[in-house]
Amino acid sequence: MTEERARTVANVMMAAAVLGAAVIVLRSPGLRRTAWQVARYYATGPLLVWGATLVHDAWQESAARTSGSVAVSGHPVARR
């Protein structure tokens, strides 16, 4: 078996496991409620922080391109 074939088989097996878990969660009301609670928590916590950080970094990068000054760390230098 080649490595490419092994990766394909592994991907199919993972997809089948995820699909099976999703079916079990969707059929069980208790698990479904728990899944929605976790999804809400994630959407209002870590996902929101990631989005805000992404926007902030893009904003800083665009300011660096227009001013032409970038620090050694890759972050723009604040001009006063």
Predicted pLDDT at 78 = 57
Q: Compute the C-alpha angle 26/30/47, nearest 5°.
A: 70
Residue pLDDT, tens place only, 22-64: 999 999 999 999 999 999 998 888 888 999 999 999 999 988 8
Residue 71: pLDDT above 90?
no
Q: Give the ranges where the chain is alpha helix by DSSP (H).
A: 3-27, 29-44, 46-67
Residues 6+ positions from 71 with CB-CB distance below 8 Å:
77
Predicted pLDDT at 65 = 79
Query: Once rounded to an integer, what is the mean pLDDT over residues 8-24?
Result: 97
Residue 79: pLDDT above 60?
no
Predicted pLDDT at 69 = 57
